[in-house]
A and B are shown apart, each in its own frame.
Chain A
Amino acid sequence: MLTLDKLTRRFGDNIAVNAANLEIPDGQMVGIIGRSGAGKSTLLRLLNRLIDPSEGQILYGDTDIARLKGKELRAWRSDCAMIFQQFNLVGRLDVITNVLTGRLHDLPHWRSMAQVFTPRERAFAIQALDRLGMAHTALQRAETLSGGQQQRVAIARALAQEPRILLADEPIASLDPMNAKIVMDALRDINRQDGITVICNLHTLDTARQYCDRIIGMQDGRIVFDGTPDLLTTRMAREIYGAEADEAFNEAATSTAIPAGPARARELA
């Protein structure tokens, strides 16, 4: 169970996340929606402590994540994997090494510095890649892959961490609809099969409706909606998105819904 208690983050005078209270049970798939600048990214970054909170608590079990430092903080980050909009892979390293960086936390220092990985670790990474249909690219440089492929490698890196929580910050915002569908399917698959909590920032409404058990709406740093997809009325959604409502509702532009038949990851790779 992940509990946020009055979690607040200020940037100067601007309050990006304003006293957020949330309880997320293990194994849920949660979508956070809202227009750009609503504080969705900041909230996720607070969760794995890429940003430090100004006030409030983040509780996981009995530990206050907001107070962790040094070794314990790195252990938490390794437990709480993150997927980024721009993938954040190391472009000049090959794909397999990128995935293996997911294991860095468990490596003894000299092995991580010398980039020495055991055959078991390599096998683990290849299995993670294979699950995303990307094993054949293992020896290519990450920067030679397309956006959708890079995002799948990034998910494999997250899987290599064997996380308890998977955070995804706009994972499909830079992808075309077909790749977006593959990535969202993969996230849901990880949530269902491995029981990993997935918390996902999404810009488009229909994706959130289609994939998530629970939707959280944010507006100007506050949580203004929290419930199952069917509780989210069109009026409520319009309010959350404000001026961006038409763009968010326009399924043709940024949706994961593909009209002709189901796409399979292996065929598209």
Chain B
Amino acid sequence: MTDSLMMGGSAGASGGAPRDAVATFERHRAELRATKRVWNIVALGAFTICLGLSVWISQFYPDRLASGIPRIFEYFGTILPDLQWDVLFEGRTAEGRAVPGSLTFWYTDFRTYIGLLWETILMAITATLLGAGAAFLLCFPAAANLAPAGWVYWISRRFLEVCRGIPEILLALVFVFMIGIGPLAGIIAIAIHTAGALGKLFAEVNENASSRPVEGITAVGGTWAEKMAYGVVPQVAPNFFSYAMLRFEINVRASSIIGFVGAGGIGQELNRVISFYSDDRVLAVLILVVLMVTAIDLISERIRLGYIGRENFR
């Protein structure tokens, strides 16, 4: 489209005023684009430097990767079970021994595994409930638009940052020392991390909530807690639920490795078979963990989508 065409098309293009407006706009736009271009170049430069540094420090070179790949398969070779087709489905013999090469032999400790997997799921549920409860209480003072005072906001935000800043595994290690080996240490560790992570997400949901209902509750003489309970919670509850379910999925994964430091769950068994045997038992446990995590993810996703879908159709 030519310049003259544009001018001709504009309404009320008679006289100099509209042309001046266009010229001013174009000049302004050119200036804006020039500053943007400078910033884009600076950002690209900074990114390239960071990328270079990280490759150099982590020694992420293609030849190292290439030489490492065969070793991955080497390890898989050692943990693959020696299954034999002819005895695959053999049960235990009369003396109660499993035949080598059969599934029963491979999964001798099946009952132990299932018990630990169940423990892992229970750990995740408990930790998610505790963490989400704490996050719920903290997310209102940690929302910039709802906090009763600046210092309350600051303290809640920093507290949440500390909670999610420390890795779960490190927290678990500390709690194992404090209260001993077992799932309780793992639950507390995951709950603290969950409170920090969910608290931030909840607070961000709160910051997007409409202020009108809150103003309505202020105007009837409601207290701060009443403003939250009546003005904010009804708006944000479905989002809170969805985030909590998402966190539950993450926590199932977290509680299946947290046992590496003795904090309960299937991770403890995985750690044991890796350090003591490093044979087909590793793969036996790994398969079960992957199956459990996938199943939980699928179920949780179903619940989440079903819930949100129902909300939208109301």
Spell out A's residues near B (CB within 8 Å).
Answer: 48, 50, 74-79, 81-82, 84, 86-93, 97, 101-102, 104-105, 109, 112-113, 115, 141, 154, 157, 161
Chain B residue numbers with a CB within 8 Å of A157 are: 216, 220
The contact sample of 5 A-B pairs, CB cut-off 8 A, is: A78-B221, A88-B219, A90-B234, A112-B222, A157-B220
CA A141 to CA B234, docked complex, whole Å = 11
Which residues in chain B, 143-162, are within 8 Å of chain A measured between CB atoms? none
CA A97 to CA B230, docked complex, whole Å = 9
Which residue in chain A gives the minimum CB-CB distance to B224?
A74
Which residues in chain B, 195-230, are within 8 Å of chain A measured between CB atoms? 212-213, 215-223, 225-226, 229-230
CA A28 to CA B258, docked complex, whole Å = 70
Q: Determine whether B71 belongs to the interface, using a CB cutoff of 8 Å to chain A.
A: no
7 nearest CB pairs, A to B: A78-B221, A88-B216, A77-B221, A82-B219, A92-B234, A105-B221, A74-B221
A-B contact count (CB 8 A): 83
Chain B residue numbers with a CB within 8 Å of A88 are: 212-213, 215-216, 219
CA A157 to CA B216, docked complex, whole Å = 10
Spell out B's residues near A (CB within 8 Å).
Answer: 212-213, 215-223, 225-226, 229-231, 234-235, 237, 314
B233 CB, nearest partner CB in chain A, Å: 9
Q: A90-B230, A90-B234, A101-B230 are in contact. Are A84 and B215 (CB under 8 A)?
A: yes
B104 CB, nearest partner CB in chain A, Å: 55
Partner of B213, one of A76, A78, A91, A109: A91
Chain A residue numbers with a CB within 8 Å of B237 are: 92
Q: Are A84 and B222 in contact (CB under 8 A)?
A: no
CA A81 to CA B225, docked complex, whole Å = 20
Chain A residue numbers with a CB within 8 Å of B223 are: 74, 104, 109, 112
Q: A74-B223, A90-B235, A113-B225 are in contact. Are A104 and B215 (CB under 8 A)?
A: no
B227 CB, nearest partner CB in chain A, Å: 9
B218 CB, nearest partner CB in chain A, Å: 6
Q: Are A77 and B220 in contact (CB under 8 A)?
A: yes
Q: Are B220 and A76 in contact (CB under 8 A)?
A: no
Q: A86-B212, A90-B234 are in contact. Are A77 and B226 (CB under 8 A)?
A: no
Which residue in chain A gives the minimum CB-CB distance to B217?
A101
B230 CB, nearest partner CB in chain A, Å: 5
Q: Are B218 and A101 in contact (CB under 8 A)?
A: no
